[in-house]
Structure 1
Amino acid sequence: MEATQAKARQGDFAPEKWRSQETAWMLGLFGTAIGADVLFLPANAGFGGLIHC
């Protein structure tokens, strides 16, 4: 850990390659956002209507 921090301070730190685990996290977070929208959109439409004046 300290060696990584030392390299980052020196400016020669190269980021790691993109892994499939990171893709799974990204898709999971995207799916969570879409799922929340699908869940709350009908509730908001029922409470306030589709058109707010």
Structure 2
Amino acid sequence: IIKAILLYAYYFKLLNKFRYYNIFYISLLCFIVINLLFYQQILPPPLIEINNK
């Protein structure tokens, strides 16, 4: 029984680590996407207008 509890705690720690990594990667992706949108607005004309023309 004790071994099962230790394994459960170990897997729970691993899941927490993966969850934190996922939050980090998602926030990083959002940061990159927002930066790309701002750069598109500042430097070239937006892609949607080019496609509509």
Instruction: Give the TM-score taking structure 1 as reference length.
Output: 0.55
Mind listing any 5+ residue stretches in structure 2 that lack a counterpart?
Answer: 1-10
- 1:8 corresponds to which residue? none
Bigger share in helix: 2
Structure 1, unaligned stretches of length 5 or more? Answer: 1-16
**How many residues matched?**
38
The residue aligned with 1:34 is 30
Runs of 4+ in structure 1 off by over 4 angstroms are none
CA distance in 1, matches of 2:50, 2:38: 14
Identity, in percent, stands at 3
Larger RCO, structure (CA 8 Å, separation 6 or more): 1
* Residue 52 (structure 1) aligns with: 50
What is the CA distance between 1:34 and its match in structure 2?
Answer: 0.2
User: Which string of whole-angstrom CA distances, capped at 9 and with x for unpartnered residues, describes residues 1-45 of structure 1?
Assistant: xxxxxxxxxxxxxxxx46111000011101100001111211112
Cα RMSD after superposing both structures: 2.0
